[in-house]
Structure 1
Amino acid sequence: MTAIEIEYCVPCDFLERAEAIQHQLLQQFGERIDSAALVTGDKGVLRVRVDGDVVWDKDDDEYDLDEITRRTREYV
């Protein structure tokens, strides 16, 4: 099974975006994943990892829930 981590910057108040990503991924993949965990961070981070591999990073990619879901689907 698959473990997803959504690391977000607490001081930047990215919690709502991280929760939106988590909700989208849980809604799409539900029982096919082990977890979709929120991980606190800092320094502007907003990043999605699947089984340790970075599939989306705010520093490199536009915020797009559909794109994040598509990239995650390749691992699930």
Structure 2
Amino acid sequence: MAASKPLVTIHYCIDCRWLLRAQWYQGELLQTFAEELGGVTLIPSRGGMFRVAVGEVTVWNRKTDGGFPEITELKRRVRDLVAPERSLGHADRG
């Protein structure tokens, strides 16, 4: 049996109305990592939380990383955990 694919979770604050932002990140990650991820789950939270994790590893936390990630940075951080050998094309340049 093959190893299960990593799962991404996005905790977003419902009081702050960040669902649409969370959905956009979800779609971008699923589009980019369709073969590498087992899914991206949105988890309603409170207290200004916006946190993205791959398994148990936090890849972005709004409170400690400062705001919201640019999509290229978020994809780089996810890629580094789920497919480190993979190129992200133009997102890797800079």
Residue 40 of structure 2 corresponds to 36
Residue 58 of structure 2 corresponds to 54
Unaligned ranges ≥5, structure 2: 83-94
* Helix, strand or coil at the partner of 1:30: coil
Unaligned ranges ≥5, structure 1: none
RMSD after superposition:
1.0
Whichever residue aligns with residue 72 of structure 2, its letter is D
How far is the alpha carbon of 1:31 from its aligned partner?
2.6
Q: Equivalents in 2 of 1:69, 1:48: separation in Å? A: 11
* CA-to-aligned-CA distance 1:2-53 (integer Å, 9 cap, x gap): 1100000001100011011101100100131111000110000011000111
Aligned residues: 76
Q: Percentage identity across aligned positions?
A: 34
* More RCO (CA 8 Å, sep 6+): 1
1:70 aligned residue (45, 68, 76): 76
1:7 aligned residue (6, 11, 15): 11
* Helix, strand or coil at the partner of 1:8: strand
Whichever residue aligns with residue 33 of structure 2, its letter is F
Structure with higher strand content: 1
Whichever residue aligns with residue 44 of structure 1, its letter is G
TM-score of the aligned structures, taking structure 1 as reference length: 0.93
Runs in 1 of length 4+ with deviation above 3 angstroms? none
